[in-house]
Structure 1
């Protein structure tokens, strides 16, 4: 399962999504630090397939964890070469350019 939370700010739709088991954890590698904060990510708990509609609507996404990053890659929203790995955990961000 994946935690998802939607933020709507100034016409943008930000999707914060993380794999359930990562919530509340912190990962470090070298100078990099990834905090999977509950106040940012904890929203609705959904299955992986629900991400498709949420990513379609989102203009910005912050994705942490193997399941949600893999789904975003499968749907073409994230390029594998742009995924940041911190202590074995994938993290990706997406922004849609709207014209």
Structure 2
């Protein structure tokens, strides 16, 4: 289960997804702070299959957590080398280039 937020962005879809158990945590490392608030991240609670659909459709994805980042890598949307860790928690940003 994941906490997810979807936002229309310049005619495309932007998603923010984090592993549900991370909601409410604050990740801090070297001056970088990510607040995983329920108000921002938990617009809805989704299952793995819904996350896969959103990952396939989105133009931009901000992902936090071992499970969702792993799912994106399994879908070949990113490589392991692109994953950063903040306070030991995997973080991944994906930007898909769209040809119009």
TM-score by length of 2: 0.90
Instruction: Mark the runs of 5 or more structure 2 residues left unpaired by the alignment.
Output: none
Tell me which residue corresponds to 2:19.
19
Match of 1:74 in 2: 74
Distance 1:50 1:12 in 2: 17
How far does the alpha carbon of each residue in 1:41-62 deviate from its partner, in whole angstroms, 9 at most, with x for none? 1122122232111111100001
**CA offsets per residue over residues 3-53 of structure 1, 9 Å max, x none?**
111101221200110111111211112232222132321122122232111
Farther-moved stretch of structure 1 (87-96 vs 47-56): 47-56
Measure, in 1, the Cα distance between the counterparts of 2:95 and 2:20. 23
C-alpha contact 1:27 1:33 (8 A) present in aligned 2: yes
SS in 1 for 2:73: helix
Alignment match, 1:91: 91
Root mean square deviation of aligned Cα: 1.2
Structure 1 stretches of 4+ with a deviation exceeding 6 A read none
Instruction: Note the residue ranges of structure 1 that are not aligned, 5 or more in a row.
Output: none
TM-score (norm 1): 0.91
1:54 aligns to what? 54
